[in-house]
Amino acid sequence: MSSNTFFVVMVLGVALVAAEEDSRGERSVTTDYHDYSKLCESQPNKFICVNCKTMVQCVKGQAFTRHCIENHYCSMKPEFGGGVCYPDEPKACKCEKANSFRVDPYDPQRFFSCKNLVTPPVNYKCPDGMVFDEASAQCQTGNGLPQCTEAGTFANPANCSVYYSCIGLRHGWLQKSFQCNSGLMYNKEKGVCEDPCLYQFVCKQEGRYPDLLNQQNYFECYMLGGKLRQLRYSCPEGYRWDEISAGVGQCVEDHDKNASKGAFFGCDIPDGFCPGS
């Protein structure tokens, strides 16, 4: 897959709402009573940056917006008395790496994509109530949890010691988060916090065996120097390990998306987390 194709897939894979302020030729100052008027209530006469491409001038508590032209970004400069649309500054609003995403330094709900270091970045906005997380390149709820898309209780894939419930409302979702006790992670199959080390595989004889924590993985057990050793391998993406008989199996296509993937599938369990691992 080419880098361009990969970049397009990344953009399509994130739940986004296109930003409204990407009008590069706009120089006029217009009133804005809805989005930014509250910002001017506490600072009636000031120039402020509300995002990388938008400056707001507060006059007697009223907000006037200016959209920065191409290659200009809103920069806080004391010599101008506050925010100003300035060429190629600040660096936090510019692309520093191709095929990447950056969060807007003024507004965590907004972010921009960098296809390369030549063309201007493209601005986006996460849905209301969500902020952009650079590490995962996804919009997340303010508490760092994934967006609810179905009712149920789920482990937080970034930290499986945290789990959350999603309750459907007439308009949107009610999300609540919970914390497992130290050393425990949420097992969705059982609906309880549990020690993942209980599912730790230990070789008993030579062969290939499934990983009970993640059905995409399997173990190879072999003798070396008179001792039984084990190594963990992964099937390709979209495949799972299918056990044919004890010690024998193969990677097969995973057609059933609703089938169990393992007690802690998707959880990051660091090497050495379990004693003796």
Q: Which of 26, 56, 91 is the last residue of a domain?
A: 91
pLDDT at 60 over 90: no
- Give yes or no: residues 201 and 249 share one domain: yes
- The pLDDT value recorded for residue 256 is 67
| Co-location of 148 and 188 in the same domain | yes
Is residue 268 domain-resident?
no
Q: What per-residue confidence (pLDDT) applies to 11? A: 43
State residue 261's pLDDT score: 61
Position with higher pLDDT, 164 vs 189: 164
Is 261 part of any domain? Answer: no
Whether pLDDT at 51 is above 90:
yes
How many Cβ atoms sit within 10 Å of the Cβ of residue 82? 19
Q: Tell me whether residue 11 is in a domain.
A: no
Rounded-to-10 torsion of CA 34, 36, 40, 42 = 90
> Apex CA 6: angle with CA 23 and CA 8, to 5°?
30
- Does residue 45 fall inside a structural domain? yes
Nearest to 188 by CA among 215, 219, 157, 218: 157
Of 186, 147, 153, 151, nearest to 265 by C-alpha is 186
**What distance, in Å, lies between the first and last C-alpha atoms of the chain?**
35
- At 16 the pLDDT is 43
Question: Nearest CA to 128 among 112, 139, 143?
Answer: 139
Contact yes or no for 2/37 (Cβ under 8 A) = no
Provide the residue range defining the domain that includes 217. Answer: 197-253
For 69-94, how does the pLDDT look when each residue is reduced to its tens digit (9 = 90+)?
988 999 999 999 899 999 999 999 98
**pLDDT tens digits, residue range 121-175?**
888 888 776 788 887 787 877 667 887 888 899 888 778 888 999 888 776 778 8
Tally the domains of the chain.
Answer: 4
**Claim to verify: residue 69 and residue 82 sit in the same structural domain:** yes
Does the pLDDT value for residue 2 go beyond 90?
no
Quickly state the pLDDT bin for 277 (edges 50, 70, 90).
low
Give CA–CA dist 101/139, Å, rounded. 11
- For residue 105, say if its preceding peptide bond is cis, omega within 30 degrees of 0: no
pLDDT mean across residues, the chain: 79
In the block, which residue shows the tokens 């482990």?
Answer: 155
Predicted pLDDT at 257: 58
Q: CA geometry: angle at 123 spanning 30 and 83, to 5°?
A: 50
Share of the chain above pLDDT 90, in %: 23
Residue 235 lies in a domain: yes
> Is 175 among the domain residues?
yes
In this predicted structure, the answer to whether residue 37 has a pLDDT above a threshold of 70 is yes
Same domain, residue pair 133 and 105: yes
d(C-alpha 260, C-alpha 196), whole Å: 16
Same domain for 43 and 86: yes
Does 7 reside within a domain?
no
| 232 is a domain residue | yes
Could you tell me if 141 and 128 are in contact, meaning their C-beta atoms sit under 8 angstroms apart? Answer: no
Q: Are 149 and 170 members of one domain?
A: yes
Pair (241, 226) in one structural domain: yes
Whether residues 153 and 186 fall in one domain: yes
Residue 46 near residue 58 (C-beta atoms within 8 A): yes
Domain co-membership, 179 together with 227: no
